[in-house]
Amino acid sequence: MRLRGTPGVRMLSQMRISAAITSETDVDKIAVELCEHVRAQLGAAKVDLALLFVSPRFVGSLPDLVEDIHLRLGARHLVGCTGGGIIGEDREVEGSHAVALWAASLPGVTVQPFRITQQQVEESNGPAFWHSELGIGPEDEPSLILLPDPFSTDAARMVEELSAAYPGRPLVGGLASGARQAGENRVWINEEVFEDGAVGVALCGAVRLRAIVSQGCRPIGEPLIVTKAQRNVIVELASQPPVVALQETLKALSEQDRQLAQQALFVGRVINEYQAEFHRGDFLIRNIVGLDPNNGAIAIGDREIRSGQTIQFQLRDGATANEDLRELIEKQQSALAKNPPEGALLFSCLGRGKNLFGKPNHDVSVIRETIGPLPLAGFFCNGEIGPIGDKTFVHGFTSVLALFEPIEKGN
């Protein structure tokens, strides 16, 4: 049987969440299998929100598939996108087709889907613009899920704008993937399927969305102060050419780490400069995109680098990424024990999975081992959206785990 579903719907609170994944190829059967399985677990509970993630091979059939699932499930709201890899329960499907459905009954929660176009991003003139466009104010304290198409939107700017409009609020998601060129991805709300823009949903009320962002890196060397920067270029690092500082860092490494640095070297920018010490998870990880042999400057994939900031070089490999995800979940165990999550969404980079870990199903296996068999769905993204500190960013090579926790009265 191809279908996989939640071992048992989580019902410790009034919130109910269920999920299923199928590798069925017959489009006419996909909606029937997924909806029957999810509905059997939820019983008579109404579906306030459903999320659907679909392999690109089904793009031609998407309007009918989305409509069929929306109607069969009886969901008040359905949002989703295409993904180059699909995640559901205990499976991460890479290099093949799959469809995952996640459905939630969310009593006491206002669910408001929205669509954003690139034109809106370009017209934005501050937080008040987004409060008006989305019909949601900061006093509503929303938790946001965002699914942009990377070809037709400036996703980084979109995330930056929304993060500023709703400061300190959780914003998670991923960039639609699987397309080779513009116009091939799809995003949808209810039964409307779009070739461009972004879709999302705001959740207000009796739900807490806890985000765990695993960037999978470990710092090497020592923290260094940027003493001169221009746009995304570090011109001076600790009052010397950045390449000199990098060479000194590499010299102190083991031979194995020096070999790793040839293909997996990154820069981490400290998010909270007021900390006395910096550890893994305190950095926003960015690619090194170029070196200038003339002045030793380093260009990185970060538009916000400036003098006075602290950076530290970083390494990434499968072992580090595994350790990072486990450590970040472990830090949350006390809070999770007090208020267990009822379900989860997982947004993982296309560069993770078997490419990084050498085996399938790594991230979902770690989540099941450390948290439990949650109703879970998601996809492999072309960029992952999640907070570091109080601000949200678009990441790469990252897994963003969004845990749905009920907020009981008095909490």
Q: Do the Cβ atoms of 102 and 19 come closer than 8 Å?
A: yes
- Residue 280: which pLDDT band, with cuts at 50, 70 and 90? confident
Which of 173, 213, 216, 211 minimizes the C-alpha distance to 336?
211
- Residue 9: which pLDDT band, with cuts at 50, 70 and 90? very low
pLDDT averaged over every residue in the chain: 93
- Residue 191: which pLDDT band, with cuts at 50, 70 and 90? very high
Residue 163 half-sphere exposure toward CB, CA atoms < 13 A = 19
Spatial CB neighbours of 163, under 8 Å, sequence gap ≥ 6: 171, 387, 391, 392
Backbone angles phi, psi at 394, to 5 degrees: -90, 130
Q: Is the pLDDT of residue 5 over 50?
A: no
Predicted structure pTM score: 0.93
Neighbouring CB atoms inside 10 A of 1's CB total 6
Q: Do the Cβ atoms of 146 and 173 come closer than 8 Å?
A: yes
Q: Which amino acid is at 338?
A: K
Question: What is the C-alpha to C-alpha distance for residues 96 and 58, in angstroms, rounded to an integer?
Answer: 12
Q: Do the Cβ atoms of 165 and 138 come closer than 8 Å?
A: yes
User: Alpha-carbon Rg of the chain, whole angstroms?
Assistant: 21
- Give the model confidence (pLDDT) of 365-384 as tens digits: 999 999 999 999 999 999 99
Mean pLDDT (whole number) for 169-173? 98
Q: Is the pLDDT of residue 197 over 50?
A: yes
- Give the model confidence (pLDDT) of 287-329 as tens digits: 999 999 899 999 999 988 999 999 999 999 999 999 999 999 9
Chain position carrying tokens 């947004």 = 347
Question: What is the C-alpha to C-alpha distance for residues 133 and 318, in angstroms, rounded to an integer?
Answer: 41
Question: What is the C-alpha to C-alpha distance for residues 227 and 79, in angstroms, rounded to an integer?
Answer: 45
Spatial CB neighbours of 251, under 8 Å, sequence gap ≥ 6: none
Query: Can you spell out the DSSP letters for 289-310?
Result: EEE-TTT--EEES-TT--TT-E
Question: What is the C-alpha to C-alpha distance for residues 410 and 195, in angstroms, rounded to an integer?
Answer: 43
Query: Can you spell out the DSSP letters for 156-212?
Result: HHHHHHHHHHSTTS-EEEE-----SSTT---EEETTEEESSSEEEEEEEESEEEEEE
- Residue 11: which pLDDT band, with cuts at 50, 70 and 90? very low
Q: What is the pLDDT of residue 12?
A: 45
Q: What is the pLDDT of residue 278?
A: 87
Question: What is the C-alpha to C-alpha distance for residues 65 and 82, in angstroms, rounded to an integer?
Answer: 12
Q: Is the pLDDT of residue 3 over 60?
A: no
Rounded (5°) CA angle 205-41-100? 80
Mean pLDDT (whole number) for 181-208? 97
- Residue 13: which pLDDT band, with cuts at 50, 70 and 90? low
Mean pLDDT (whole number) for 16-22? 97
- Give the model confidence (pLDDT) of 114-151 as tens digits: 999 999 999 999 999 999 999 999 999 999 999 999 99
Bridge partners, residue 52, by sequence: 80, 101
DSSP 370: H
Summary count for the chain: helices (H), strands (E): 11, 26
Mean pLDDT (whole number) for 5-31? 79
Q: Is the pLDDT of residue 7 over 60?
A: no
Question: What is the C-alpha to C-alpha distance for residues 99 and 237, in angstroms, rounded to an integer?
Answer: 47
